[in-house]
Chains A and B, each alone.
Chain A
Amino acid sequence: MLNRISQIGHSLKLPGLSFLMAFTITGIIIALSDSKVMGKIGSPIEFLKSAGSSVGNAYLALFQGSIYDTRLAESGFFEGFYPFFETLVTATPLILTGLSVALAFKSGLFNIGAQGQFIFGAIGASYVGFRFDLPVGIHILAAVIAGMFLAAIWGGIVGFLKAKTGAHEVILTIMMNYIAAYFILWILKTPTFLRKGRLDPLAPEVKESARLPLLAGSEFRIHAGIFIALAAALFVWWLLTKTTIGYKFRAVGANSKAARTAGISVPFVITATMMICGALAGLGGAVHVLGSEYALNAGIAGSLGFDAITVALLGRAQPLGTVFAALLFGALHTGGRMMQSNTGVPLDIVVVTQGLIVLFIAAPVFVRYIFRLKKLNVASALTSKGWNG
């Protein structure tokens, strides 16, 4: 048991140190880009004080904006958790798209297509959500299934093409993302999706019966999607570790030649993986629409499908790791909002922090050098293959 704990501690060392370094560098950038701080460059003590205050305020805002806000707590202890709930809301679709990318990594595939799959999930859920009148529960289920189904097909096309023709999934998924991005622009202009009385690309809101239940009342946006996302993470873990299908996925991902030699059908694995990945990203789209957005718009996917790649990398393609990475990104995004409005530090700095964290995790040798670590646990490197895979 003690051994196990030290093992976990060991495996957290690299992410932890990367985290610390990313925030240190971001802090330096914040200080140096603050004209008030730079105005005091003449006197070192004033300069440091001012820099400390600038960075401190920014990070305080980042914390208050993402975890717990004492000012909000004035109206009740529970209210103080509003930022944390926002973090969960932001993280929910990211967990699902992240799982989609992570699962693909496990099969040795690089799914850049979570973006497009997410879009189709959102389209399917939105259509069923606003078009039909169904009882609560059934309506949600129908909308979620519609989204997952469309997205599974969208992902499955990539898998099928790769399996049959050997075309590289990176190129296929990038192209499919383009198609999806323009498809949603187009479909939002069709009479079916256009809101009555409006010409801009915005679909009607989904009916009340199709909306995911809110968990903490209408004051908060936190919805049941977070449980769906956690269940999906559990599902992916179960699939990978306990089932024959997951076994095949991992075998092909770790060594497709040996898997093939032992009789595992690689085309089946590629197609099945991409379908499940599509369904996961599509579930993300469905949950996003049914849980927090309600109305489909052209920018519904934002950069969720692309952030998913970073999230999956950060989470080492492990389900639990992906959940934590998504929560971290969600916190940075929501906290960045407060940081922007309170201290004027632009939201973009959060993207810099995210990039730095991933950079340091991807370059463990560098972290090891900085902190003079003898040996870091950098095993279980991701087995995504190169362009010739």
Chain B
Amino acid sequence: MKKSFKLIAVAASLTLITGVAVAPSAQAKKIKLCLALDTGGVDDRSFNQGAWEGAQASKVATAEYLAAATPADFAPNIKAFVDKKCQLIIGVGFAISSAIVKSALANPKISYAVVDDAGADCDENFNCKPVKNVKGLTFQTDEAAFLAGYLSAGMTKTGKVATYGGAPYPTVTIFMDGYVRGVDYYNKLKGTNVSVLGWDTKTKTGSFVGNFIDQNAALTLSKGFEQQGADIILPVGGNLGSAYAAANEKTKKALTIWVDSDGYDLLPAGKSTLLTTVVKEIGASIKSVAKDVAAKKFNGSLYVGTLKNRGVSLAPYHDLSPRVPGKLKLEVRKIRDQIKAGTLKIN
């Protein structure tokens, strides 16, 4: 026993000694950008992944991240970044917002940002005041979803389209609102009667999976809409729709619209029935705030991603481009320009 015990002890201490000796050297003059992720992991094919890719793409920053296993990790993860002297700490997702705000108030010299939330300091009665070292990164995704709705209304053959969400969070329902309004706008212009299943903008009620993980539940919802006659479906919820997208590629009964990052680059299966994506450029927003910090131009004003500043957009039609009538393409582009110019109010 003694022999093998000693061997391991020696090996262990050797690794320690050599390890200490070869500690990492200091980095170049780039700013230190630190991402505190939401639960779900860095490879979630959704906002965590999008944020991390954006951070890595930044030319003015070195990026690192900490993943959270549970919400209880939020605060300690942020604190770890503070201790590591990060210059910009970005919380990904509205759930982490209050932890970011708390840390920001305690460390006024560090710049913070939070994705999908205004990053304001709110009391229990929701009286909020902005925090000057926190930049909220929010997105008018309804603008891009509006285009998707208009496009869908022009493409449907059954006169029915559908949308549903992972959970009724504001960041989810904003997509659904824009989508419904886009369809309504088409109906108004063309005198058609295309209907949207799965969401009612007035009562704010609709279909939800209940989480952002259960792809089978999402598949069931999609199939249900398909049977009710919907031939274009927009699932809003990260990777939720991928099971349906894959299944749909075989049956070709309906077209799907993806959200967040262009699904054409992400989806392993379902590209041939992917109409477009309502893109939310989280990565771009992160690059932009990093640039501000590096240039010492950071401020706590709200960042709002719009069609105009390319923070949101409608992705290319890719494989389905030949099926979209040229006239409809032109109309969508026209509406986009109207929204950008502010001449068309989508609300």
Contact = CB atoms under 8 A, between A and B. Distances in A.
Interface of A: 17, 20-21, 23-24, 27, 49, 51-60, 65, 69, 71-72, 82, 86, 89-90, 130, 185, 195-202, 204-205, 218, 221, 288, 292-293, 295, 297, 299-303, 334, 337-338, 340-342, 346-347, 370-373
A196 B125 contact: yes
Nearest to A374: B1
Given A57-B19, A86-B76, A200-B94, A205 B124 contact: yes
B69 A347 contact: yes
Contacts of A51: 15
Nearest to B93: A200
Contacts of B122: 197
A340 B11 CA distance: 23
B12 A60 contact: no
B124 A196 contact: yes
22 contacts: A23-B12, A27-B12, A27-B15, A49-B22, A51-B15, A52-B15, A52-B18, A53-B18, A53-B22, A69-B83, A89-B76, A90-B76, A195-B124, A199-B173, A200-B95, A200-B170, A221-B75, A295-B98, A338-B80, A342-B24, A347-B67, A370-B4
Nearest to A130: B124
A56 B20 contact: yes
A72 B79 CA distance: 12
Contacts of A55: 15, 19
Contacts of A198: 126
Contacts of A185: 210
A20 B65 CA distance: 29
Contacts of B22: 49, 53, 56-57
A141 B126 CA distance: 27
Given A52-B14, A337-B80, 8 more contacts: A20-B8, A54-B19, A89-B76, A199-B173, A200-B167, A293-B72, A299-B71, A341-B34
A204 B15 CA distance: 48
Interface string B82-103: 0110000000001100100000
Contacts of B98: 202, 205, 295
Contacts of A49: 18, 22
A337 B66 contact: yes
Contacts of A27: 12, 15
B125 to A, nearest CB: 6
Interface string B155-192: 00000000000011110010000000000000000000
A337 B73 contact: yes
Contacts of B19: 52-60
A130 to B, nearest CB: 7
Interface in B243-287: none
Contacts of B83: 69, 71-72, 82
A60 B20 contact: yes
Given A57-B23, A221-B76, A24 B12 contact: yes
B21 interface: yes
Given A56-B19, A196-B124, A199-B169, A292 B8 contact: no
B16 interface: yes
Interface string B3-31: 01100110110111111111110000000
Contacts of A373: 1
A215 to B, nearest CB: 16
A56 B19 CA distance: 4
B64 interface: yes
Listed from nearest, the 5 A-B pairs whose CB atoms lie closest are A56-B19, A302-B70, A197-B126, A52-B18, A196-B126
B119 to A, nearest CB: 13
B39 interface: yes
B77 interface: yes
A302 B69 contact: yes
A52 to B, nearest CB: 4
Contacts of A334: 76
Contacts of B75: 221, 292
A341 B16 CA distance: 19
Nearest to A71: B83
A273 B21 CA distance: 53
A20 to B, nearest CB: 6
Contact of A59 (B15, B39, B69): B15
B15 A372 contact: no
A204 B34 CA distance: 27
Nearest to A182: B210
Contacts of A300: 70-72
A370 B8 CA distance: 12
A58 B16 CA distance: 9
A218 B75 CA distance: 13
A196 B65 CA distance: 31
Contacts of B24: 57, 342
A304 to B, nearest CB: 8
A130 B73 CA distance: 22
A69 B85 CA distance: 14
- Which of A20, A57, A89, A185 has the most B CB atoms < 10 Å from its CB? A57
B94 A56 contact: no
Given A221-B76, A292-B72, A371-B1, A340 B67 contact: yes
B103 to A, nearest CB: 12
A301 B70 CA distance: 8
